């Protein structure tokens, strides 16, 4: 049995284990519910046992010794593709987080993706297709402005919209999850417009599926 430990922001991330269950059958299991990436982000990433097993069965997993190089190349490609677009790319351990401010990706108060943002998402999808042994967790976030229920629905709808768009660009649905986080995980002060603008965002968390 091989165990790969992912560490992000000084927190222990899930242990991803490859267990032999038969002569030629390998099942990926995750030792914890998920990984938390980013201070205050509260995002559970890469912790779906069934999904990880499905990804491993469909496209294979990354050998433990190769994970760093695999994610390095993916990060480099994503940074090149998103340069100047307003998307932030953050690397923590063996995870990559893409943060898309709603102001550049969605119409105000809407889950409709801005047409000007299509090409950027096309480029992101191309990289995800090039590196298929990666779980993709999409998280929608909202500011505290307006009703909580509305913001919860909007954050879910925006996460779903990104997932749907990536699916249409060929990213396998089994690799992705989409969850609306509502107003509960701000990264800035909701008492100012500048802070609220930062809190309205969609994050894509990329986690390698490992052996």
pLDDT at 195 over 60: yes
Query: What pLDDT, on the 0 to 100 scale, is given for residue 11?
Result: 30
Query: What pLDDT, on the 0 to 100 scale, is given for residue 41?
Result: 32
pLDDT at 189 over 80: yes
Distances (CA, A) of 12 to 81, 108, 199: 30, 37, 25
| Residue 114, burial from CB neighbour count under 10 angstroms (0-12, 13-18, 19+) | middle
Q: Could you report the per-residue pLDDT of 36-50, keeping only the tens digit for each?
A: 333 333 333 455 555
Give the residue extent of every domain in the chain. 63-208
Joined tokens for residue 126 = 């191309």
Note the residue count of the chain: 211
Joined tokens for residue 113 = 């993706």
pLDDT at 32 over 50: no
Query: What pLDDT, on the 0 to 100 scale, is given for residue 62?
Result: 65
- Higher per-residue pLDDT: 178 or 107: 178
Q: Say yes or no: domain 63-208 is CATH 3.90.209.20.
A: no
What share of the chain in percent tops pLDDT 70?
Answer: 69
- Least confident range from 47-61, 68-82, 142-156: namely 47-61
Joined tokens for residue 127 = 């990289």
Per 3-state DSSP, the chain is made up of helix, strand and coil in percentages (nearest 5) of: 40, 30, 30
Give the pLDDT band of residue 158 (cuts 50, 70, 90). Answer: very high
């Amino acid at each position: 049995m091989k165990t790969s430990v992912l560490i992000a922001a000084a927190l222990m991330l899930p242990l991803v284990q490859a267990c032999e269950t038969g002569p030629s059958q390998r099942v990926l299991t995750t030792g914890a519910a998920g990984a938390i990436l980013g201070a205050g982000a509260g995002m559970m990433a890469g912790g779906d046992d069934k999904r990880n097993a499905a990804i491993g069965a469909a496209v294979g997993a990354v050998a433990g010794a190769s994970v760093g190089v695999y994610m390095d190349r993916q990060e480099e490609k994503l940074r090149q593709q998103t340069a100047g677009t307003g998307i932030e790319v953050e690397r923590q351990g063996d995870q990559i987080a893409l943060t898309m401010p709603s102001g550049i990706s969605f119409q105000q108060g809407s889950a409709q993706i801005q047409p000007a943002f299509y090409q950027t998402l096309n480029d992101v999808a191309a990289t995800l297709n090039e590196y298929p042994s990666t779980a993709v967790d999409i998280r929608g976030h909202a500011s505290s402005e307006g009703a909580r229920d509305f913001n919860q629905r909007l954050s879910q709808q925006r996460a779903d919209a990104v997932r749907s768009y990536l699916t249409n660009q060929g990213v396998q649905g089994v690799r992705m999850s989409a969850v609306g986080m509502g107003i509960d995980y701000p990264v800035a002060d909701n008492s100012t417009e500048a802070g609220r603008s930062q809190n309205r965002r969609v994050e894509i968390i990329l986690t390698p599926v490992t052996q």
